[in-house]
Copies of this chain bind each other. A is one copy, B any other.
Amino acid sequence: MSADLRGRSLLSLDDLADEGIDRLLATAAARRAPASDAPLRGVSVALVFLNPSLRTRLAGEVAMADLGGHAAVLSPGSDAWKWETRPGAVMDGDAVEHLRDAVGTISGMVRGLGIRAFAGMRSWKEDAEEATLRAVVAASSCPVFNLESAQDHPLQSLADLLALREALGPDLRGKGFALAWAPHPKPLPMAVPHAALRAASRAGMRITISCPEGCDPDAAFLAKVRKDAEARGGGIEISHDRLGGLAGAEAVYCKSWGAPALYGRWEEERPLRAKHRDWTVDAARMAAAAPGARFMHCLPMRRNVEATDDVVDGPRSLVAAQARNRLLVQKAVFLETLRP
């Protein structure tokens, strides 16, 4: 895990050494303005969205344009063929192309391939194994960028880290970070909660997960991020206290997720989520955190369900910075991995 990222894929923060993270964030911060040097002139990437996107798609397109290159956006199933993903499938059904052939084709035409492939939300094991992302990597002849997968979102991790450093200072070690579970009309996947925990643990923050009983993250994943946090002067604990769980947090990261314990059994899970509609992050809940605590959310957000307008639009909100940083981080990733 060297800091030189040339020719490498970016699938997870886990793939990056601390020096690699530092380097990407330094490059991101230095690339606020469009490049006058067009360092990626003649470089094309493909961004493949198996699920819809606003921020990621726009950040990717604008990042490449700013750097002098080009990003081609593909949406299989709407403007391109729907993909079969099962290896060895006898394709006599609806899917007209196998992921293996599509990815082989794409990666033969471009220098980098971004892929968004959400969780199937049927089986924890299936999603935790990141089957689609792994299949894309296996079939690709060029570097692959994870544009949000079943349980990870490294570009969001990096944008969040940059926002945290901007707001709380470059050294985040030992600072309080609360991952605040919030209500939502639908059970959401673990991509962003895991990405946020990866980010905060790699920064050595003192993490609390404030969530209802039954919504605890997966134990194996927790063990991993605990190790990362503790190795850097931080730690991690779980609180089932809606308010108390935020005590001491300098950053409150609002996010909803479906209860991992009932993963895939979403009809059973529904009453659990319904019961905790009062976990909305509002002024009262923010008041339980450290004075002046920052509010974070990756967007898109169900306003006045996950968090109230006054909090989202208030002076302590980092939401706009997080979104803006998605562009900067995207530029950094393209530049560091694809530069000649």
> What is the interface of chain A, defined by CB distance below 8 A to chain B?
34-36, 42-44, 46, 49, 52-55, 57-59, 61-62, 65-66, 69-70, 72-76, 78-81, 84, 88-93, 96-98, 100-102, 104-106, 108-110, 185, 299-305, 309, 312, 319-320, 323-324, 326-327
Pick from B42, B54, B70: contact of A97, CB below 8 A.
B54
List residues of chain B with CB within 8 A of the CB of A319.
101, 104
Pick from B57, B75, B185: contact of A93, CB below 8 A.
B185
Are the CB atoms of A78 and B79 closer together than 8 Å? yes
List residues of chain B with CB within 8 A of the CB of A105.
54-55, 58, 299, 320, 323-324, 326
Each complex incorporates copies of this chain amounting to 3
Using A42-B66, A109-B62 as known contacts, say yes or no to A79 and B91 having CB atoms under 8 A apart: no
Most buried by B among A81, A101, A319: A101
13 chain-A/chain-B pairs, Cβ below 8 angstroms: A34-B42, A49-B79, A53-B79, A54-B80, A54-B81, A57-B79, A57-B80, A61-B72, A92-B305, A98-B301, A101-B319, A104-B320, A108-B327
Are the CB atoms of A91 and B305 closer together than 8 Å? yes
Chain B residue with minimal CB distance to A301? B101
Are the CB atoms of B74 and A79 closer together than 8 Å? no
State how many angstroms separate the Cβ of A46 from the closest Cβ of chain B.
6
- Rounded to whole angstroms, the CA-CA distance of A86 and B269 in the bound complex is 30
Additional 8 contacts, C-beta under 8 A, given A54-B97, A96-B302: A42-B66, A44-B66, A54-B76, A58-B105, A58-B110, A62-B109, A100-B303, A102-B300
State how many angstroms separate the Cβ of A283 from the closest Cβ of chain B.
15
Chain B residue with minimal CB distance to A312? B101
Are the CB atoms of A54 and B74 closer together than 8 Å? yes
List residues of chain B with CB within 8 A of the CB of A79.
49, 52-53, 57, 73, 75, 78-79
Are the CB atoms of A101 and B300 closer together than 8 Å? yes
List residues of chain B with CB within 8 A of the CB of A302.
91-92, 96
Chain B residue with minimal CB distance to A299? B101
